[in-house]
Amino acid sequence: MDSHISTTAAMPRSASAQACMDLEDRWGAHNYHPLPVVLCKGEGVWLWDVEGKKYLDMMSAYSAVSHGHSNPRIVSALIEQVNKLAMCSRAYHNDVMPRFLEKVCKMTGMDRMLPMNTGAEAVETALKAVRRWGYQVKGIPANKAEIIVTSHNFHGRTIGIISFSSETSYQEGFGPFLQGFKAVPFGDVKAIEQAITPNTCAVITEPIQGEAGIIVPPPGWLKQVAEVCQKNNVMLVVDEVQSGLGRTGKILACEHENVSPDAVILGKALGGGVFPVSGLAGKRHLMDVFTPGSHGSTFGGNPLGAAIAIKALELLEEDHMCERSQEMGAYLKKQLHSIGSKAVREIRGLGLWIGLDIDPNFISARHVCERLAKLGVLSKETHETVVRLAPPLVITKEEIDWGIHRLRQVLTEI
């Protein structure tokens, strides 16, 4: 098996890894703690560092590279568009964004989309949308709107978003925070129902919690939440930034329970792994609260990003990437179970989005990731106990086997 896929590559050593890391440490803010790997090239499911070592990517940049690194058809769409018109701002119309909006809405079952750039911006857009809906449509008294969220959520790191985070490390030193949020346990529909008041405008949740450790709620939970929201005239907004666009084996993870929420938040994979593209797609009754000047973004909906997103969505359908995620995800999970390591407490996830819950009495998730990197497999820990496995959706069984062989080495040497 190892003879088919080499971990070495003849690449110029333009800079040493240590020199790059030292330069970043000197001039960059210390807001990340990355693994000591300096990458310089990507192709498909593979990455190379500046020393020429080849790695299997089992992270996909938190689902942003679902189509594989430097997907040639996406790169071609980028080049074609950048040679025509890359940027013009929303002060004018452009001829690409309308097709992008139509494609997103038709694929997600939504009526309108407001394009942004990053996932956090799209979440902030959702917060504004549901609050305005609460005041203008539901009739909530001014400045009294409440939004129900789920504990241990991760929606980004802006001041607005960390205001409803239950992770103290995200909040420390950044207060005061926004008011109007109620956190209830993830997966508990009764808690949501009990938290609703006449001033509740929305429930915002991830369908599966990614940063929390690939936490899958009980079967039927999201469908029950949708029913509770509809009964109480409350908007349901599902954050599909990481879980959406094929990652769990469906276009949207909420499709696993046949839920069509009032709005979905999209990002990451929408940019095809080459450009930041995000947005809020929703039903007309929610999205029509936006009027000229009520929200905006200089780069949101730019022709370059729109062209890239159109191609990314087309490939999602043409290459049957949802079906691939289901098939390869089931295969990956089966191979993971075959390892049988005493250090693994649980294997959970959907499609090609799997979390290995590591028993810290044996080894930390960070150490697992560090050892994997030395063997040519890149992943990243979350909350010190979970190793995330989320490769590009184009991964093959042979490539999965290659990674499993090295993961077995790490987990059975403990």
SS (H, E, C) the chain: CCCCCCCECCCCCCCCHHHHHHHHHHHCCCCCCCCCCCEEEEEECEEEECCCEEEEECCHHHHCCCCCECCHHHHHHHHHHHCCCCCCCCCCCCCCHHHHHHHHHHHHCCCEEEEECCHHHHHHHHHHHHHHHHHHHHCCCCCCCEEEEECCCCCCCCHHHHCCCCCHHHHCCCCCCCCCEEEECCCCHHHHHHHCCCCEEEEEECCCECCCCCECCCCCHHHHHHHHHHHCCCEEEEECCCCCCCCCCCCCHHHHHCCCCCEEEECHHHHCCCCCCEEEEECHHHHCCCCCCCCCCCCCCCHHHHHHHHHHHHHHHHCCHHHHHHHHHHHHHHHHHHHCCCCEEEEEEECCEEEEEECCCCCCHHHHHHHHHHCCEECEEECCCEEEECCCCCCCHHHHHHHHHHHHHHHHCC
Among residues 57, 239, 262, 357, which one is catalytic?
Answer: 239
Q: Is 154 a catalytic residue?
A: yes
Does 188 participate in catalysis according to the annotation?
no
Q: Which of 49, 57, 100, 154 is catalytic?
A: 154
Set 103, 250, 268, 380: catalytic member: 268
Active site residues: 154, 239, 268
